[in-house]
């Protein structure tokens, strides 16, 4: 079946995932296979980001969260981290006008204060320039770690208990969710991991409790629109029971 026909079929499906999260993996291996420096893989990965953002916007996906730079990635060699920060800065500056034109809203989660000042400023400006957009929410997980996010949420809740603003007996799933950085977003319905690795890698651990997970051997720089459609088509074939049995699910 032709790609355009698949896209048209997906556009009309009411059961599309509202929120897709992608663990973008394989940039380094892509570069190594071609005997190129690792940063070349990250540069090539930008094209995949562009393809996926455009495709999700065209399909009507509400939220796309990209695991862009993890809390653990700070352990990488300093020159690589520096190059990644410059790449992020240059990409934001280059792509912002097109993102505005396509009604994309930029959001960031993670320890943004740890990023270089010019990168932080560019991210804040991009968020401000797109805050009134009503299309796809492009949520960038930067300097992000889910364990760290959960720990921060617990601290905030603890302070409220200490100050008498919250009764410990009232702490439940909703209270915890409301103190996470994704409080204003639906939980991911589908998580895609590229490069064939079967790990969550500290990505949205609370939020993906009932997400469907799709693993592809494709390295991130090689990830095409057809790969995204394959993951979505696989998602649509799955029965999401959320702990129930088939007979309990709403009949459609």
Residues classed as catalytic: 25, 73
Which residue's structure tokens are 């599309």? Answer: 16
Helices marked H in 102-224? 117-130, 146-162, 173-178
Alpha-carbon span 47 to 218, nearest angstrom? 14
Alpha-carbon span 221 to 128, nearest angstrom? 29
Q: How do 212-215 and 190-193 pair as beta strands?
A: parallel
Alpha-carbon span 89 to 118, nearest angstrom? 7
Helices 38-59 and 78-101: angle between axes, nearest 10 degrees? 30
Copy the structure tokens of residue 137.
Answer: 């929410």
Alpha-carbon span 18 to 188, nearest angstrom? 7
Alpha-carbon span 27 to 40, nearest angstrom? 8
Alpha-carbon span 71 to 74, nearest angstrom? 6
């Amino acid at each position: 079946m032709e790609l355009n026909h698949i896209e048209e079929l997906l556009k009309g499906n009411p059961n599309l995932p509202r929120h897709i999260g992608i663990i973008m993996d394989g940039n380094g291996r892509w570069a190594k296979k071609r005997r190129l420096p690792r940063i070349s893989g990250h540069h090539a990965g930008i094209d995949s980001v562009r393809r996926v953002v455009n495709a999700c916007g065209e399909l009507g996906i509400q939220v796309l969260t990209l695991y862009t730079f993890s809390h653990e990635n700070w352990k990488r060699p300093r020159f690589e981290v520096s190059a990644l920060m410059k790449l992020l800065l240059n990409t934001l500056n280059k792509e912002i006008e097109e993102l505005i034109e396509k009604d994309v809203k930029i959001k960031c989660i993670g320890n943004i204060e740890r990023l270089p000042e010019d990168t932080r400023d560019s991210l804040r400006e991009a968020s401000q320039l797109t805050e009134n957009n009503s299309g796809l929410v492009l949520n960038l997980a930067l300097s992000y770690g889910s364990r760290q996010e959960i720990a921060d949420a617990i601290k905030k809740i603890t302070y409220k208990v200490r100050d008498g603003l919250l009764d410990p007996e009232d702490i439940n799933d909703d209270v915890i969710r409301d103190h996470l950085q994704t409080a204003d977003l639906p939980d991911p319905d589908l998580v895609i991991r590229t490069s064939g690795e079967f790990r969550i890698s500290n990505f949205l651990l609370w939020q993906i409790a009932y997400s469907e997970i799709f693993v592809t051997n494709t390295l991130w720089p090689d990830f095409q629109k057809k790969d995204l459609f394959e993951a979505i088509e696989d998602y649509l074939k799955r029965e999401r029971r959320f702990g129930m049995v088939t007979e309990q699910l709403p009949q459609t």
